[in-house]
Structure 1
Amino acid sequence: MNKLFTYTLLPLLLLLSSCTKLDQEFYSQVTPETFFKSEKDILAALNRPFTHARWYLGEDRWQLQEQTADNFAITTKGPHWYNGGTNERFHYHTWTPDEGWIWGTWRGTLMGIALALDARSDLEKLDYTKFALTPEDQAAHVNQLNTLIAYFYLRGLDYFGGMPIFNNLEGENLPRNTDQEVFNHIEQLLKTAMTALPKKEGGQKEQGELKQAAAATMLAQLYFNAEAYIGKPMYAECQQLAQAIIDGQYGPYQLDPTWYGPHGFKNDGSPEIIWSIPSEFNKLQYDWFYSNFYHYNSREYFDQDMGADNGTHLSPSRRPDSSLYKNEWKLGSPFEKFDAVDLRKKPYHYLGSGNYEGMFLVGRQTKPDGGTILGTQEYKDRALALLDQVGRFSEVGAGKKYSAISQLPSKMSEGEENTGIRLVKVPIPTLAENTLRWGADNPAIRLTEVYYMLAECKWRSGDLAGAAELINTVRKRNFENGVDPNPVRADNLDKYRFLDEWSIEFLGEGRRRTDLIRWNMFTTETWWDHKASQSDHLKRFPVPTQAISGNNNLTQNPGY
């Protein structure tokens, strides 16, 4: 048997059980001491769990965070995207323990922990001096893995509450630990890592390594959401850490001077990136969202060759009659939450040489040369315009289902191919500059989040002016010459404005559900085609049926 066993068979074993005991003779012939021949082998083992993290940051985890909240939807578009009712169940908060997104997230969380533990076990056994490396290098590698383990547990705690805690791969059919025990485990891992990881050096590009500031920010995130996790507010602890990170105690980080710097093709050099997952065309590329987000013919808009499935879009800001949703609810309507002169609100256009503007596909869709892009379904051979509305406009007219637009229902089942504005947070070049495609790294943690965490902690302690100042420090980069037409002030920063600011800055970054839960609005508020459930058990997802069937020591979350 060789080391490949761990990396190929382990994920399969983890499908069957929460934590599965590996063959006890696994190391009888090949041990870490004999398998590792060079520094290259060490780095390969270290990086393997990070490739899993690359996948984990998107896909099902993103769906659970965004499709259950107020900013995105996957409407049924005629014969397309009913998806067995999955999209509606998550939008309406009627999911079950049998959902694929939930199973994929439970499984993926434990896989990530197991892969990192396995790599840590190997690297801890090595004599690094035999590879011209130092004990400090070994400590940095081991604590990168400890931080990654803490990251997976942090996400598992957020989604499910208590998870099985294991420190090696010897356990089998482990029960769930309590929320508090998982919280304490994460805290201990991160506190240890913060003292052993290296700091970022000035001007150093981000290449995916976890450094002191990443561990510190994860610990701040843990404290920031502690009230939701363990019923104990820890905003003061979060505030202290966030301030220290901003002050540079964990490395030199600064806000990027531009809104697109943290997301663009060269974002590995952005001064505000604290942890990113590297991406490169045809090499572990950051592209999972493309097919799901864009229209079948969006390739013509981007001047690209990639097809798409026309699924996810922004929740609508307008009724079918074009009037704004203003009085029905305060959440959602993400596109209209951007000020009209916000530089990000422009339609996305690639300008060449790695430059671009805007971050939305909205309105009439045209090719870079100005040519018209046509629809393929309801608007076949007709000009395609993406609307900030949901409704079957193609069924309005003489002899059709509806005689007037005023009769159109607007709900999850009533989309069509032009339904919804599409987000372009990750820039896409034209084919002429295709070497840049997927050149933007995935910014897993950026300093702006620390600013907003600090601002919210100040707000909760009564320092509304201090909170407003921090948010405005970020906001000004989104406007020409830094002139903000609607700055945050102490007298307009209520809980809804604060959630709007989180939405505007982090739209589509896979965190919205967590923010709504922290503000106690996930189950108590209404938004487009979603009624408040008033059911607190929905703040946690159920333990998947497949997990319980493979491990009868697992207990289900209350309410399921």
Structure 2
Amino acid sequence: MKYIYTLLAFSLISTLFVSCSDLEEEIYSETVVENFYNNKEEIIGAYTRPWAHTQWVLPLTIFQLSELSADAVVTPTKSDGSHYSDGKNIAFHQHKWTSEHPTIDEAWAITWEGIGFVNGVLQGIDPVDFEEKQVPISKAEMIAELRCLRAYWHLIACDLWGNVPITTKVSDPAYPATNTRKEVYKFIETELLATIDDLPVKKHAETYGYFTKAGAKTLLARLYLNSKVYTNEEYYTECIDMCNQVISAGNYELDENWQGPFLPTNEFSKENIFAFALDGVTGWSYNISAFTLPNVLKNKFGLQFDPFNEMYTVEEFYDSYNDSDKRKEQYLVGPQYGSDPNTPLVTIDKHISSINNAGLDEGARNYKYVFGENSQGHIHETDLVVLRFADVILMKAEALMRINNGIATQEAVDLVNQIRKRAFGTNYEANKYTTTNLTMDELLAERGREFAYEGQRRTDLIRFGKFTGTRWAKDNVSEDYRTLFPIPLKQTNLNPNLDQNLGY
């Protein structure tokens, strides 16, 4: 049974904190906040609110910005006209978004709302005596975990928009000014380094679904790996150091099964360093697979809802998997059967005929996240994975190669081959890497295969200098400024202190 702190009434908690995204929102008095933290139930309820917000919104707009703008996932307009959405999905794939794109505006709003929730709790618990209230978690640990979550949200903002405000207090200032990307980077680094000592060593019943020391260090490694993009400075040695600390601690390891981290029982996976805990009852979130499957496969998976049939896998990306690669099993292609093994429910064609008029049964469908018995449209028991040990291994390998001018060292090869050995099993010897065939391009391809549908592809393509290039249904080379999204026009109109990104 998964341990998840019980959430208090959603609407009650929500009224206590102010979002930074809507500057016309009513400001609640400090008296309301001070009167709320009267007992341990209210404190835990407030504490869980920022996490509930994050697990709810990550698979939605943040995932769309991160994956639909890259080269693996696409939401085409279907032959029945569905998912056209005023062209907003195709605009992502073809890099034709503007500052008025509604999904970008929504992503901005939920990012600063998430930061606002964290700031509200940090301010609210500041004067509270945890021992007196008998709170089942130390105040220092709660603060550290919340600061990590706030740093995580700032990292999302830094990655998507670059120059953004740094906010640590609710509505103070009311109109926050833009900080440089380097300043945001340093804030994230400082926050994560400051929290490590107060975080638990390893996830356990009371801390599962929250940050641990390894979680903070893995997030730091990700920050350092992207430092050249964020600050034009290289911190690859620091990335390696953080990876080494996670590896040497011995608390995490690769799951024997490549899909183990994405099963309904993935809270037991030794690989997942940080995941949002879902129990199929109270944890509101989305299973990524719900966006990909045709609704005709509802009964095949015993679902209580119709899958959304939105996202298809680009054929070239699907074909990048070797047929001996077990990770190719996450895609549904060809005849799909239900209870009758002789009559297919649908036959899925990996080829997508057109981004503007795709067949309802086209495009390889990803089924990485396995549905549990209690899956509903927005309630699932398969935990939402954010950080896992496989990324620690591949980040260290990449940093080693970048220090070595992009040439693979034997140590880097040995690291990546840990992933390959799991992926190929008995066919590993014929598919293992060497210092000759592990190039930077091949490493990017391997990261794509390993982290498909995990929201990393856009960031990886940018780091490898491949984001703006041509691809299926995208004949143009994008402008360089497309590596950042625009600050939404709605937000720059509300806040005169925000600086728009160049090109928009």
Superposed pair shares fold, TM > 0.5: yes
Match of 1:107 among 104, 109, 115: 109
Q: Could you give the per-residue CA deviations for residues 317-344 of structure 1, whole angstroms, max 9, x where no partner exists?
A: xxxxxxxxxxxxxxxx222222212223
Q: Deviations over 1:128-154 (max 9, x none)?
A: 1202359x8110000111101100000
Give the match for residue 511 of structure 1. 456
Tell me what 1:386 maps to.
348
Instruction: Give the alignment of 1:462-481 within 5 angstroms.
Output: 462=404, 463-481=408-426
Q: 1:85 to 1:133 in 2, by over 3 A?
A: closer
Match of 1:7 among 14, 19, 38: 14
What residue is the counterpart of 1:254 in the other structure?
Answer: 253
- Secondary structure at the residue paired with 1:274? strand
- Separation (CA, whole Å) in 2 of partners of 1:5 and 1:40: 13
Aligned position for 1:536? 480
Query: Could you say if the C-alpha distance between residues 73 and 219 of structure 1 is closer, same or farther in structure 2, counting changes exceeding 3 Å?
Result: same
Match of 1:419 among 353, 362, 366: 362
- In structure 2, stretches of 5+ residues that fail to align are 1-8
Offset of residue 542 of structure 1: 0.1
Tell me, in whole angstroms, the C-alpha distance in 2 between the residues paired with 1:413 and 1:132: 58
Equivalent in the alignment of 1:362: 333
Shift of 1:74: 1.3
Q: How does 1:90-239 map to 2 (within 5 A)?
A: 90-133=92-135, 137-169=138-170, 170-200=172-202, 207-239=208-240
The structure-2 alpha-carbon separation of the partners of 1:312 and 1:3, relative to structure 1 and needing over 3 Å to count, comes to: closer
The equivalent of 1:527 in structure 2 is 471
> What amino acid is aligned across from residue 124 of structure 1 in structure 2?
D
Work out the CA distance in 2 between the residues paired with 1:31 and 1:16.
Answer: 19
Contact 1:363 1:387 survives alignment (8 Å)? yes
Distance 2:447 2:476 in 1: 20
Shift of 1:533: 2.1
CA distance 1:261–1:288, change in 2 (3 Å) = closer
Which whole-Å CA distance do the structure 2 matches of 1:74 and 1:228 have between them? 27
Partner of 2:3: none
Find the aligned partners of 1:550 and 1:88 in 2 and give their Cα distance: 28
Q: Of the candidates 27, 30, 33, which is equivalent to residue 30 of structure 2? A: 27
**1:394 alignment partner in structure 2:** none
Cα separation, partners in 2 of 1:70 and 1:205, compared to 1, 3 Å: farther
> What is the DSSP-based 3-state SS (H/G/I as helix, E as strand, rest coil) of the residue aligned with 1:258?
coil
Tell me how far apart the structure 1 counterparts of residues 461 and 148 of structure 2 sit (CA, whole Å): 26
* Cα distance between partner residues in 1 of 2:427 and 2:42: 48
CA contact (8 A) 2:487 2:501 kept: yes
Instruction: State whether structure 2 residue 499 is matched by structure 1 residue 555.
Output: yes
| Change beyond 3 A, Cα 1:301–1:371 | farther
Contact kept in structure 2, 1:174 and 1:553, CA below 8 Å: yes
User: Match for 1:452: what amino acid?
Assistant: L
Q: Contact (CA 8 Å) 1:59, 1:288: kept in 2 or not?
A: no
Distance 2:183 2:202 in 1: 31
Deviation at 1:46, TM superposition (A): 1.1
Aligned equivalents of 1:468 and 1:221: distance in 2? 20
Equivalence map 1:488-499=2 (5 Å):
488-499=433-444
Tell me the matched-pair count. 489
* 2:55 maps to 1:54: yes
Partner-residue secondary structure (3-state), 1:334:
helix
The CA distance in 1 between the partners of 2:77 and 2:239, in whole Å, is: 41
* Cα distance in 2 between the residues matched to 1:287 and 1:105: 16
Query: Counterpart in 2 of 1:297?
Result: 296
Amino acid of the structure 2 residue aligned with 1:455: A
Match of 2:270 in 1: 271
The 1:389/1:167 distance shift into structure 2, 3 A limit, reads same
2:322 to 339, 346, 359: 339
Taking the aligned partners of 1:286 and 1:484, their CA distance within structure 2 comes to 40
Describe how 1:395-406 pairs up with structure 2 within 5 A. none
Higher mean Cα deviation, 419-428 or 304-313? 304-313
Q: Distance in 1 between matches of 2:11 and 2:264?
A: 34
Corresponding residue to 1:441 among 383, 389, 393: 383
Aligned partner of 2:348: which letter?
L
User: In the alignment, what sits opposite 2:5?
Assistant: none
Distance in 2 of aligned mates of 1:540 and 1:290: 27
Contact 1:280 1:286 in 2 (8 A): no
State the alpha-carbon separation in 2 of the partners of residues 485 and 48 from structure 1: 49
Structure 2 CA distance for aligned equivalents of residues 344 and 536 of structure 1: 33
2:129 partner letter: D
Q: 2:22 aligns with which of 16, 22, 28?
A: 16
Q: Distance in 2 between matches of 1:365 and 1:109?
A: 38
- The residue type paired with residue 444 of structure 1 is V
Q: Does 1:74 align with 2:45?
A: no
Q: Is the 8 A contact 1:143 1:193 kept in 2?
A: yes
Equivalent position SS for 2:71: coil
Tell me the distance in 2 between the aligned counterparts of 1:205 and 1:141.
Answer: 11
- 3-state SS of the aligned residue for 1:365? strand
Structure 1 pair 273–204 and aligned structure 2 pair: CA distance change class (3 A): farther
SS in 2 for 1:262: helix
Structure 1 distance, partners of 2:284, 2:425, is 32
Identity %: 28
RMSD, aligned CA:
2.5
1:103 CA displacement: 0.7
Give the drift of 1:290. Answer: 4.5
Deviation at 1:81, TM superposition (A): 2.4
Question: 1 CA distance for matches of 2:246 and 2:441?
Answer: 27
1:117 shift after superposition: 0.7
Retained in 1: the 8 A contact 2:486–2:500? yes
Distance 2:448 2:118 in 1: 32
Question: Which residue identity does 2:222 align to in structure 1?
Answer: Q
Query: With structure 1 as the length reference, what TM-score do the two structures score?
Result: 0.82
Structure 1 residues 430 and 274 mapped into 2: Cα distance closer, same or farther (>3 Å)?
Answer: closer
Larger radius of gyration: 1
Does the residue aligned with 2:15 lie in a helix, a strand or coil? helix
8 Å contact kept, 1:459–1:466: no
Contact 1:20 1:171 in 2 (8 A): no
Residues 17 and 120, structure 2, Cα contact 8 Å, conserved in 1: no
CA contact under 8 A between 1:297 and 1:373: conserved in structure 2? no
